[in-house]
Structure 1
Amino acid sequence: MAHTDTSTAQPIPSADWTAWQASWDRQQEWYMPDREERFRVMLDMVEALVGPKPRVLDLACGTGSISDRLLKRLPEAVSTGVDLDPALLTIARGSFDGDARVEFVTADLKDPDWPARLPYDSYDAVLTATALHWLHSDPLRTLYGQIAHLVRDGGVFMNADHMPDEATPRINAADRALRHARQERAKAEGALDWRDWWDVAAADPLLAEPTAKRFEIYGEHADGDTPSPDWHARTLREAGFGEARTVWRSPSDALVLGLK
């Protein structure tokens, strides 16, 4: 996917939602250079298991990164994006304005009644990426149980996130050191990290207020757990998925799939 160059902290014109989407992608890629590869595998599995016209729940959707790639890959799909972040939802709603295939819902995934806000009772696929690490294990286990009720029989859930294997500390340390060195080189060349990106958003007239509200909700950064892929697969099976396993991984991240 082509990206607008927003690697330096220059103001983005207000309401240029395409530029904001590209800027978010670049910031995320600073942390995850293989981000597009995990999206590709995720959508491969959607198409393979539920077909080319899925009803998708984009869980903790942010700016709608998954929905964007879903609809480009599978144009007959429909997507519901759900999130609580008012700034990222502002970008998402602006980006997909006028596209009847997509709708967005504001909801807190820690609220037991959040599924009641959704427009559908069930989905062919529930997808999420780089979002649920802000939940601790017990709330995440509860969430997986709720997701199991939303996924139809034969449907899928996929979570791509930071899932290190704590049994290999030396491998983890070496991988972390290499990643951090690459990130520092990229930042020296003008790449925005997470904090820099939010500073730019806070300076935008259309995003300043929702950005302030975002930090009121979440604080500086959430502090959740990062259990292993095996934990995720086991917990999904306990929640009611018939099969669950890792379908993609890097040294530090993984994509776990549960098949209902």
Structure 2
Amino acid sequence: MSPYITDAAAWQESWDRQQEAYLPDREHRFTAMLDAVEAVRETAPPRLLDLAGGTGTISLRALRRFPDAELTLVDLDPALLALATASLGDRATIVTADLTRPDWVDALPHRGYDAVLTATALHWLPADRLTGLYTELRELLRPGGLLVNADHMPDDTLPELTKRLLAKAEARRAARYAAGAVPSWAQWWEHAAQDPELRSLVERRHAIYPTGHSQEWSPPVSWHLGALSEAGFTEVGTLWRGGADAAVVAVR
């Protein structure tokens, strides 16, 4: 991992713009997630796990809300982890771990987290692995702690409306790309591959994900709520919804 990224703040802003093309209400879900942390935290500072945290998007916002938070960020992507390290410095513990393996938890520095937070990251795990991960995450939380997963989670009672919402969102995104307002996912990575400080890390990323994330699926909220209940959480529900996206929450 590169120890220093000269333009980390610029890369973070570029990442945010690229993500917002897909998720225009992205900040709303982060606010809802941190509101839930505020509601249940018992310790000062709160102990938080940013799961599949990428560039540190959630961690950076958590630190604005809770400047003394004890943060752990977990991811596998070397390029995104380098940006997270450059942005967060010693304000978070950065962990490289593969969530497809149940032993990923052995790399963590703590147990007893107040909250596990993840956004737009777990849809590449197959159903059986995500089910197992939910059980593993329950064991990492203190009693009363919570898990929030925000992702593509359509409402299965609104299938036709969801299709229309997705079509409208795709048209808006295509217009923004055509106008050059924001980079697409592929363009962002092409740009990163040309950067002298990130080039080797992007090459390592391609070695880890030679065909990209192989699994991508969007089960409805009802599937997630059922899986979380089966994992043993005492309360499960929908914390936030925007179009075909939602954030489910589960309390240990």
TMscore range, shorter length:
over 0.9
Match of 1:247 in 2: 239
What amino acid does structure 1 have at the position aligned with 2:228? L
Which of 203, 206, 223 is matched with 1:215 structurally?
206
Q: Structure 1 residues 94, 65: closer, same or farther in 2, change over 3 A?
A: same
Which of 227, 233, 252 is matched with 2:219 structurally?
227
Q: Report the CA distance between 1:166 and its aligned residue.
A: 3.9
Does residue 145 (structure 1) correspond to residue 135 (structure 2)? The answer is: yes
Find the aligned partners of 1:162 and 1:144 in 2 and give their Cα distance. Answer: 17
Find the aligned partners of 1:258 and 1:217 in 2 and give their Cα distance. Answer: 31
**CA deviation map 1:161-188 (0-9, x unaligned):** 0011344332122111100111011112
Contact 2:156 2:222 in 1 (8 A): no
**What is the SS of the residue equivalent to 2:74?**
strand
Contact 2:156 2:221 in 1 (8 A): no
Does residue 118 (structure 1) correspond to residue 118 (structure 2)? The answer is: no
Match of 1:198 in 2: 189
What amino acid does structure 2 have at the position aligned with 1:22? E
Q: Report the CA distance between 1:89 and its aligned residue.
A: 0.3
**What is the SS of the residue equivalent to 1:96?**
helix
Find the aligned partners of 1:145 and 1:62 in 2 and give their Cα distance. Answer: 22
Does residue 44 (structure 1) correspond to residue 35 (structure 2)? The answer is: yes
Does residue 84 (structure 1) correspond to residue 76 (structure 2)? The answer is: yes
Find the aligned partners of 2:61 and 2:211 in 1 and give their Cα distance. Answer: 28
Does residue 258 (structure 1) correspond to residue 242 (structure 2)? The answer is: no
Match of 2:57 in 1: 65
**CA deviation map 1:84-115 (0-9, x unaligned):** 00000010111112x3x311000001112111
Aligned length, in residue pairs: 245
**What is the SS of the residue equivalent to 2:218?**
coil
Q: Equivalent residues in 2 for 1:158-169 (5 A)?
A: 158-169=148-159
Identical amino acids, percent of aligned pairs: 50
Match of 2:125 in 1: 135
Report which stretch shifted further, 167-176 or 60-69.
167-176
Task: Give structure 1 regions of 4+ aligned residues with deviation exceeding 4 angstroms.
Answer: none
**Structure 1 unaligned spans of 5+:** 1-13
CA RMSD of aligned residues (A): 1.2
Contact 2:117 2:148 in 1 (8 A): yes
Contact 1:230 1:245 in 2 (8 A): no
Q: Equivalent residues in 2 for 1:170-209 (5 A)?
A: 170-190=160-180, 191-209=182-200
Q: Report the CA distance between 1:229 and its aligned residue.
A: 1.1
Match of 2:21 in 1: 30
Find the aligned partners of 2:190 and 2:77 in 1 and give their Cα distance. Answer: 16
What amino acid does structure 2 have at the position aligned with 1:211? V
Find the aligned partners of 2:37 and 2:48 in 1 and give their Cα distance. Answer: 9
Contact 2:50 2:117 in 1 (8 A): yes
Q: Report the CA distance between 1:226 and its aligned residue.
A: 1.4
Q: Report the CA distance between 1:42 and its aligned residue.
A: 0.4
Report which stretch shifted further, 184-193 or 211-220.
211-220
